[in-house]
């Protein structure tokens, strides 16, 4: 399938304070962010023309920048407004928004304290992270060789570009084997997350999910935990060892891109797409698309 390269698309990107034509949003090859991964970003979904949990995403963008020791040269309100400007300029009702901030080209070396921080925000259509047919029956995950690092070795509480290098490697390896994604363990050998999403398991009517002590406590993860508790479903956040997967009945992953996606297989372990998974899938879609759901209900 042919995919239009991202540098050849049409529309506008918010770039350092102004909307510019998509193909003119360019930067120099000697940007510090490219060479030393001094870049943070967010992934946000647009539903019905509105960005879901925009303020929370912007707060995390600023916190990620703080962890990487640089300041975003705009206020949170300016970034929120810029995100909305991009969505309006692209005329997308549903889509994906990517704000990012990085150190520029003023200094080239490990130390870059005098580099100017640059910011860009783009928006594009992205209907489903996984194949829709595969998603309904549960995706298959490999178990990655790469592991989430010890928090003492990487800024794991930031959504920083460099932390995703091993995710790309793990996902590529999984796709070559015919899997949709991969489950990553942490440096202790405990279950951590998928390459770009948090993970949940179901046993005896309750949810079990790894404690996010070396990976992001995702905004979608927190949303799903809240939806589960609202429905009387108990949630256990704890250390989970890989062999425990043999005793779980259901499994699903969650994230801004993945939304709530059932999992049917992780390596040798098998799961069913059960009632709790389907309930939380529906609850999440109602939460992110209240206007769409209301219109559909009224039409019926």
Distance CA 242, CA 210 (A): 11
Question: Annotated catalytic sites, by residue?
Answer: 159
Location of structure tokens 């979608």: 220
* Of 43, 40, 101, nearest in space to 72 by CA: 101
The Cα-based distances of 222 to 36, 192, 201 in angstroms read 31, 16, 15
Location of structure tokens 């993860």: 221
Distance CA 39, CA 30 (A): 14
| Burial class of 121 by CB neighbour count within 10 A (0 to 12, 13 to 18, 19+) | buried
Partners of 236 in beta bridges:
208
């Amino acid at each position: 399938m042919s995919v239009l390269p991202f540098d050849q698309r049409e529309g506008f990107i918010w770039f350092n304070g102004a909307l510019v034509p998509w193909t003119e949003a360019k930067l120099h090859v000697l940007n510090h962010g490219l060479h030393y991964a001094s870049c943070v970003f967010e992934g946000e979904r647009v539903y019905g023309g509105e960005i879901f949990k925009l303020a929370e995403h912007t707060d995390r963008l600023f916190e990620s920048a703080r962890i990487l020791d640089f300041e975003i040269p705009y206020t949170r309100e300016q970034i929120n407004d810029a995100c909305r400007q991009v969505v309006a300029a692209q005329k997308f009702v549903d889509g994906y928004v990517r704000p990012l901030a990085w150190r520029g080209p003023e200094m080239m070396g490990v130390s870059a304290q005098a580099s100017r921080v640059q910011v860009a925000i783009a928006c594009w259509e992205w209907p489903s992270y996984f194949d829709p047919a595969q998603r309904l029956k549960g995706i298959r995950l490999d178990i990655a060789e790469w592991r989430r690092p010890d928090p003492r070795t990487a800024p794991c509480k930031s959504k920083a570009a460099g932390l995703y290098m091993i995710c790309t490697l793990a996902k590529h390896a999984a796709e070559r084997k015919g899997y949709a994604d991969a489950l990553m363990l942490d440096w202790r050998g405990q279950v951590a997350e998928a390459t770009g999403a948090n993970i949940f398991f179901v046993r005896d009517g309750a949810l079990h999910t790894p404690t996010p002590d070396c990976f992001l406590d995702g905004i979608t993860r927190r949303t799903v935990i809240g939806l589960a508790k609202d429905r009387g479903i108990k949630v256990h956040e704890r250390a989970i060892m890989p062999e425990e997967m043999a005793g779980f009945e259901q499994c699903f992953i969650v994230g801004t891109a993945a939304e709530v996606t059932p999992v049917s297989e992780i390596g040798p372990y098998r799961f069913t797409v059960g009632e709790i998974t389907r309930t939380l899938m529906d609850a999440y879609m109602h939460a992110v698309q209240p206007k769409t759901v209301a219109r559909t209900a009224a039409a019926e």
